[in-house]
Amino acid sequence: MKTLAYLLISISCSWSALAQFNQGSYTQFSISTPMRANLENRNEDEYWFTPNGLSFKFGEGMHFHRTIAAGLNTGIDWVASRKLVVVPAFANLKLSLKLDPETFLYIQTDYGKSIILGRGNLHGDYKKIGLGIENLDGLALFIELTQYGFSLDSPEKVANISLGISTSSFKSKRSKNNDLPATIENH
């Protein structure tokens, strides 16, 4: 819990330091499904990977010209094969590279805490790294690797690979010269 407290304090101090720059805010919603390898794939008509649950995430934060973003997030993850329902609370850092005028490639890393519902006092660190492609409207397709920081039936920590879609709403800081919002294209 100390780690999460230090992380939240660091982010809040960073936001005040970045307040002097012309940055904006964003809100993000995502839905994804953990994938499970179909090890009993005996014929060619079956899929190699099958969905193994569902995840919803929500977060808000600050961005700098959509190339660097930092925020706080929470959500709920359901992993069907492990009979798990996890509530993560985490901070994220997103770095984007503009591929063309309407497309961004991004890498996102998250760190926080995960709490398991219905399993007593089971909790652990929450670590996630993702790679995605996002359009100018904020719609993104991504793949991510998540580790929950606790073990269930074996010494290995619970982890999964997910595929998903997200939508982000980016707002830029208002210009001091007029009452119209500054647009990202003007930067």
Q: Please identify which residue in the block is written with the tokens 């709403």.
A: 169
Average pLDDT over residues 124-138: 94
Confidence band, pLDDT 50/70/90 cuts, at residue 187? very low
Helices (H), 63-162: none
Tokens read off for 82: 């492990």
Tokens 């993104």 map to which residue? 140
**Which token pair is 158?**
């619970």
DSSP state of 14: H
Supply the DSSP symbol for 6.
Answer: H
Q: In the chain, what are the domains?
A: 2-36+49-174 (2.40.160.20)
CA 76/CA 92 separation, integer angstroms:
16
Q: Which residue has the higher pLDDT, 121 or 187?
A: 121
**Contact present, 105 and 97 (Cβ < 8 Å):** yes
Q: What is the dihedral sign for C-alpha 85, 123, 74, 185?
A: negative
Per-residue pLDDT of 74-90, as tens digits, reads: 999 999 888 889 999 99
**Strand partners for 146:** 128, 160
Position 9, amino acid: I
The arithmetic mean of pLDDT across residues 166-180, rounded, is 70
pTM as predicted: 0.76
